[in-house]
Amino acid sequence: PEHLVIVGAALAGLRAVEAARRSGYKGGVTMIGAESQAPYDRPPLSKEYLAPNAESGAPELRSAQSLHDDFGADLKLGVRATGLNCAAQQVHTDHGALDYTALIIATGSAARPTPWGDPLPGVYTLRTVDDARRIRADLDNGAQDIVIIGAGFIGSEAASAMHRRGLKPIIIEHAPVPLAHAIGEEMGIACAHLHRRNGTELRCGVGVGGIEGDDRVRQVRLTDGSALPADLVIAGIGAAPATQWLEGSEVKVDNGVICDETLFAGAPGVYAAGDVARWPNSVFEKVMRLEHWTNATEQGKAAAVNALDPENAKPFQTVPYFWSDWYGNRLQFVGIPEADEIHVASGSIDSDCFLALYRQNSRLVGALGLNERRRVMKLRREIAQNISWGDAVSSVS
Ligand code: FAD
């Protein structure tokens, strides 16, 4: 009998289940997830979830009950995939083996662990609802001196959330400019200004030498010889695709599961979606792995539809999109950041409202907006339609 198995019970996996049923698939569906929570949303964890008096439950996307009743899916929580036998079409888990006819790998990514010895109490990464609960408990218990390591999106949003609580976190960033790889150097500088305008101290170009304390964290030692007192440390130092369980299987892994343009992972019936998948995106003729909410949603759907009808599998193409919320401002990026030129088409990068366009040759490839929601989403559609640079510049000015 047909059996669709989804490994990873989060956003991409959930969208895969929903799309499978909406496409008319009538076979069995089993979804396994290592966490004990039904699929929930991560973006709130570094935003409203850190506010005082926020709801304590996980920001659930769909309950186990609804997955069962509305989608006929068997959700197995607290179950971890440990291996994959592609020849036998079997997933091994810490609770036994499961046979599949189609398999979606949606194990996402996990926070990079801190490299400064065993983490002390009070030192956290921020990926899961359990991480967010621990951070919130420390804040509610009066943590005052807060050091955030990494001025990426997670660290920056956490800093904004602390700021809303009236706290003054200090951000340490190893690179001279934050977020240069994600949005380009010039716009990284604009983001650094946004922190400073809101009163957050951001120290760039300095690393962390160690984190010291006894029963709790006491100080963060920096590579310039200085030290910062700390009651709470949040390390936002990146995430890595959760692919360890695929070692030794036929599925090839290289910073993510290697897929073809249809998200096919190279073994019969096996597809991948979300943070874990690396695939050639023909919109930019580039192999990509994205860690964005919208991509997990779109790929989850596409992977399921393709896995259930491989003969008619369609290429998955997308213009990447992510947002991030800082100090009540919405930052949005569409496209890719590799540009010959970045042109500020409206507003100024020192203000709370601007739009910047990214040019490659004679083509618009990206756009960054601060509080420019409508225009950024319009540009996403136009990039998909291959709008020329000249047309893009005249359409926004
Ligand atoms: P994940 O959400 O990583 O889920 C994968 C699941 O698989 C996890 O539950 C994991 O436990 C499980 N799993 C892993 N290994 C196994 C195994 N061997 N067996 C069984 N289960 C396993 N994106 C934006 O665009 N905008 C934002 O503002 C934004 N904010 C974010 C804030 C935070 C704090 C975080 C952490 C992420 C944020 N993101 C944001 C990114 C977005 O949440 C991710 O891109 C999205 O969660 C990816 O979904 P996924 O289903 O691919 O993977």
Contact 279, 314 (CB under 8 A): no
Give residue 35's pLDDT band: very low, low, confident or very high (50, 70, 90).
Answer: very high
Among protein residues, the one whose CA lies closest to atom 15 of ligand 1: 107
The residue written with tokens 């957050």 in the block is: 200
pLDDT in tens, 95-127: 999 999 999 999 999 999 999 988 899 999 999
Ligand 1 near 80 CB (within 6 A): yes
Give residue 273's pLDDT band: very low, low, confident or very high (50, 70, 90).
Answer: very high
Whether residue 132 is found in the same domain as residue 183: yes
Does the pTM exceed 0.90?
yes
Expressed in angstroms and rounded, the spacing between residue 296 Cα and the centre of ligand 1 is: 8
Expressed in angstroms and rounded, the spacing between residue 394 Cα and the centre of ligand 1 is: 38
Alpha-carbon dihedral 60, 61, 64, 66, rounded to 10 degrees: 130
Expressed in angstroms and rounded, the spacing between residue 71 Cα and the centre of ligand 1 is: 22
Among protein residues, the one whose CA lies closest to atom 14 of ligand 1: 107
Expressed in angstroms and rounded, the spacing between residue 69 Cα and the centre of ligand 1 is: 24
Sign of the CA dihedral with 247 first, then 250, 254, and 259 last: negative
- Residue 239 is predicted with a pLDDT of 97
Instruction: Look at the chain and report how many structural domains it folds into.
Output: 3
Domain annotation covers residue 323: no
Ligand 1 near 146 CB (within 6 A): no
Sign of the CA dihedral with 198 first, then 203, 208, and 209 last: negative
Domain annotation covers residue 319: no
Could you tell me the CATH number of the domain that includes residue 302?
Answer: 3.50.50.60
Ligand 1 near 108 CB (within 6 A): yes
Domain annotation covers residue 320: no
Domain annotation covers residue 318: no
Ligand 1 near 298 CB (within 6 A): no
Domain annotation covers residue 159: yes
Contact 369, 342 (CB under 8 A): no
Contact 10, 39 (CB under 8 A): yes
pLDDT in tens, 8-31: 999 999 999 999 999 999 999 999
DSSP string, 87-100: TTTEEEEBTEEEE-
Closest by Cα among 294, 160, 148, 166 to 228: 148
Whether residue 207 is found in the same domain as residue 351: no
Domain annotation covers residue 317: no
Whether residue 105 is found in the same domain as residue 118: no
Could you tell me the CATH number of the domain that includes residue 344?
Answer: 3.30.390.30
Whether residue 74 is found in the same domain as residue 118: no
The residue written with tokens 């700021």 in the block is: 163
Among protein residues, the one whose CA lies closest to atom 1 of ligand 1: 108
Cα angle: 100, vertex 19, 272; to 5 degrees: 55
pLDDT in tens, 288-299: 999 999 999 999
Expressed in angstroms and rounded, the spacing between residue 133 Cα and the centre of ligand 1 is: 16
Question: Which residue segment(s) compose the domain that 52 sits in?
Answer: 3-110+239-312
